[in-house]
């Protein structure tokens, strides 16, 4: 069997997308959702694998800019819509699409490729490392109280709809992008992804609602949530389902959490995705009764090691030579000297002796400052060749704010 890889012709989008839908189980998306993904697809950077006139593989990329430690936003390919038809699996089609895609990303000059994986096992072989995690939790609001900081009463709340609050919520989001690594700048059209609310995904909950936090008439935070009513024999037993929450300062966030934790006729707050260092965990009286669980989310791949490492800053001075192994993108292989601090960085090829040896996957994992090089070394994935280099690099790579990706793509 030979398959041909080619750039997507927009006229073929329906056939191409049908392969993806089928690979994910074949449940058709709501018209509104499908139409939005069609609009957001960038055909010129989407690949199809064709067996004769049959599309049997798909892989897309979005043109993103990702926030990195220090506050820069760096061009990144947002790899997406990856699938291979059930009739054509395990014959190397995904591998050929990943190779071609990374070559294209390199040609476009984007130092990074990022993705969220359907199954984490798939992408390590292509050099992607897990760089961000998210916390899911269920707060038992019948047992857990929230102690909010003084000053929260200065925030007033207004209930509205996500659609009516869109411009205000987007303005808040835009101001937060550079404050936390791992966030994606929203391009035109992407604000509508935040509004997607297909009834099939609601699991018995209401359409999404929105509450705005305001100080002196200015919007300083918002939350998107839904209510899942439930009645048990003793009485009301509903849930508040938190989809998004963002505040420009701690008081705005605390006021939003207080509101969500005190909705009448509910007994729990379900938090689907929050940063691992989120403030609410310190406001609750009993974190054990919130059942926090961790999940890997964003995979990062350094497509151009030199440009990627020079694009972020380092919280403590670093001067280390990395010996990088990268069989899938051999242009990255070899030794790189990284020098940098909190103001800027440079990363160039060198013949000097290596201080640390690792694969490009581990560099991707550590890149956003959420996974420490020391912990990767503890797993045997980073080798220290000069004493002291591991601590130096690990401290420098760290981030005071945990990286987090607020939404999928
Ligand atoms: C960013 C995103 O869009 S994530 C979405 C990914 N898509 C899906 O999960 C949809 C359902 N699955 C599929 O469509 C396909 O099974 C794919 C795309 C995951 C894999 O496509 P294939 O063409 O079969 O992969 P390919 O033959 O190139 O396999 C490459 C390697 O990955 C391994 N692999 C592929 N899929 C998986 C998997 N789901 N779990 C573990 N290993 C896998 C193969 O065993 C192979 O290993 P090897 O190199 O050691 O031999």
pLDDT value at position 194?
87
Residue numbers in the known binding site for acetyl-CoA are: 82-84, 90-95, 118-119
Q: Which CATH number fits domain 298-397: 3.30.1050.10, 3.40.50.300, 3.90.1860.10, 3.40.718.10?
A: 3.30.1050.10
Collect contacts of 53-57 with beta carbons under 8 A, ≥24 apart.
54/85, 55/12, 55/15, 55/16, 55/18, 55/19, 55/85, 56/3, 56/19, 56/84, 56/85, 56/87, 56/88, 56/93, 57/3, 57/5, 57/19, 57/83, 57/84, 57/85, 57/88, 57/93, 57/94, 57/97
Nearest CA to ligand 1 atom 34: 122
Return the residue whose CA atom lies nearest to atom 37 of ligand 1.
122
Cα of 171 vs centre of ligand 1, distance in Å, is: 38
Catalytic residue among 64, 123, 128, 259: 123
Ligand 1 pocket, residue 122 CB under 6 Å:
yes
Q: For atom 33 of ligand 1, which residue has the closest CA?
A: 122
Please work out whether the CB of residue 343 comes within 6 Å of at least one atom of ligand 1: no
Q: Is 328 a catalytic residue?
A: no
Burial class (CB in 10 A: 0-12, 13-18, 19+), 75: middle
What's the distance, Cα to Cα, between the start and end of the chain in Å?
32
Q: How far is CA 344 from CA 72, 271, 339, in A?
A: 10, 36, 9
At residue 80, the 3 state secondary structure works out as strand
**CATH fit for domain 4-110, picks 3.60.15.10, 1.10.357.10, 3.40.630.30, 1.10.287.3510:** 3.40.630.30
Distance (angstroms) between ligand 1 centre and the Cα of 97 equals 11
Low-confidence stretches of the chain (pLDDT < 50) are none
Q: Which residues contact 406 (CB under 8 A, 6 or more apart)?
A: 173, 183, 244, 246, 273
Active site residue 123: yes
Q: Domain residues of the chain, as ranges?
A: 4-110, 134-296, 298-397
Tokens of 72: 């820069």
CA distance 151 to 107: 51
Please enumerate, by residue number, every residue annotated as part of a binding site.
Answer: 82-84, 90-95, 118-119
The pLDDT value given to residue 118 = 97
Asked if residue 119 has its Cβ within 6 Å of ligand 1, the reply is: yes
80 Cβ inside 6 Å of ligand 1: yes
The token pair at 228 is 């899942």
Residue 90 alpha carbon to ligand 1 centre in Å:
7
Q: What is the pLDDT of residue 1?
A: 66
Strand 218-228 vs strand 238-247: parallel, antiparallel, or unpaired? antiparallel
With a threshold of 0.95, does the pTM exceed it? yes
Any atom of ligand 1 within 6 Å of the Cβ of 107: no
44 CA to middle of ligand 1, Å?
23
Looking at the CA of residue 115, tell me the nearest atom of ligand 1: 1
Q: Report the atom number in ligand 1 closest to the C-alpha of 90.
A: 27
Best probe residue, ligand 1, of 94, 296, 299, 327 (max atoms within 8 Å of C-beta): 94
Residue 42 CA to ligand 1 center (angstroms) comes to 22
Span from the CA of 76 to the centroid of ligand 1 (angstroms): 22
CATH classification (class only), 134-296: alpha beta
Domains 134-296 and 298-397 share a fold: no
What is the pLDDT at residue 267?
A: 98
Answer whether 90 contacts ligand 1 (Cβ < 6 A).
yes
Task: Decide: 141 and 267 in contact? Cβ < 8 Å.
Answer: yes
Task: Specify the pLDDT at position 368.
Answer: 99
Pairing of strands 356-359, 382-384: antiparallel
- Kindly state if the Cβ of 143 falls inside 6 Å of ligand 1: no
Asked if residues 256 and 199 have their Cβ atoms less than 8 Å apart, the reply is no
Neighbouring residues of 153: CB distance < 8 A, sequence distance ≥ 6: none
Instruction: Establish whether residue 283 lines the binding site of ligand 1, counting it when its CB lies within 6 angstroms of any ligand atom.
Output: no
CB 181 within 8 A of CB 403: yes
Sign of CA dihedral 65, 69, 71, 72: negative
Residues in CB range of 114: below 8 A, 6 or more apart: 64, 66, 76, 77, 78, 79, 298, 299, 300, 301
Please give the distance, rounded to the nearest whole angstrom, from the Cα atom of residue 122 to the centre of ligand 1. Answer: 6
Ligand 1 nearest-atom number relative to CA 95:
28
Q: Helices 13-23 & 31-40, crossing angle to 10 degrees? A: 120
For residue 121 and ligand 1, the question of a CB distance below 6 A is answered with yes
Q: What pLDDT score does 55 carry?
A: 98
Indicate if ligand 1 lies below 6 Å from the C-beta of 117. yes
């Amino acid at each position: 069997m030979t398959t041909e890889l080619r750039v997507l012709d927009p006229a073929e989008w329906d056939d191409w997308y049908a392969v993806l839908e089928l690979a994910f189980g074949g449940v058709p998306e709501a018209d509104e959702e499908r139409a939005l993904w069609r609009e957001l697809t960038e055909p010129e950077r989407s690949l199809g694998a064709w067996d004769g006139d049959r599309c049997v593989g798909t892989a897309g990329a979005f043109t993103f800019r990702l926030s990195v430690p220090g506050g820069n936003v760096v061009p990144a390919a947002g790899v997406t819509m990856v699938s291979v038809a059930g009739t054509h699996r395990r014959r190397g089609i995904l591998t050929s699409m990943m190779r071609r895609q990374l070559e294209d990303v390199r040609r476009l000059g984007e130092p990074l490729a990022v993705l969220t994986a359907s199954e984490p096992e798939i992408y390590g072989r292509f050099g992607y490392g897990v760089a961000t995690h998210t916390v899911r939790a269920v707060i038992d609001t019948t047992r857990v109280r929230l102690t909010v900081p003084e000053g929260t009463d200065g925030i007033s709340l207004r209930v509205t709809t996500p659609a009516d609050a869109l411009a205000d919520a987007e303005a808040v989001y835009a101001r937060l992008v550079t404050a936390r690594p791992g966030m994606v700048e929203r391009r035109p059209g992407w604000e509508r992804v935040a509004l997607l609310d297909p009834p099939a995904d609601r699991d018995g909950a209401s359409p999404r609602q929105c509450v705005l936090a305001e100080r002196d008439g200015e919007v300083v935070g918002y939350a998107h949530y839904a209510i899942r009513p439930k009645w048990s024999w003793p009485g009301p037993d509903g849930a508040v389902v938190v989809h998004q929450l963002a505040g420009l300062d701690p008081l705005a966030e605390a006021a939003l959490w207080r509101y969500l934790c005190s909705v009448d006729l509910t007994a729990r707050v379900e938090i689907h995705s929050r940063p691992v260092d989120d403030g609410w965990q310190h406001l609750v009286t009993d974190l054990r009764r919130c059942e926090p669980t961790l999940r890997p989310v964003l995979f990062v791949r350094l497509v151009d090691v030199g440009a990627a490492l020079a694009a972020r800053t380092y919280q403590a001075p670093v001067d280390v030579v990395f010996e990088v192994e990268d069989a899938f993108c051999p242009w990255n292989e070899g030794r790189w000297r990284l020098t940098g601090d909190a103001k800027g960085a440079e990363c160039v090829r060198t013949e000097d002796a290596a201080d640390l040896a690792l694969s490009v996957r581990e560099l991707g994992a550590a890149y956003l400052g959420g996974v420490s090089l020391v912990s990767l070394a503890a797993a045997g994935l980073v080798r220290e060749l000069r004493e002291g280099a591991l601590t130096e690099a690990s401290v420098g790579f760290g981030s005071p704010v945990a990286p987090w990706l607020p939404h999928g793509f």
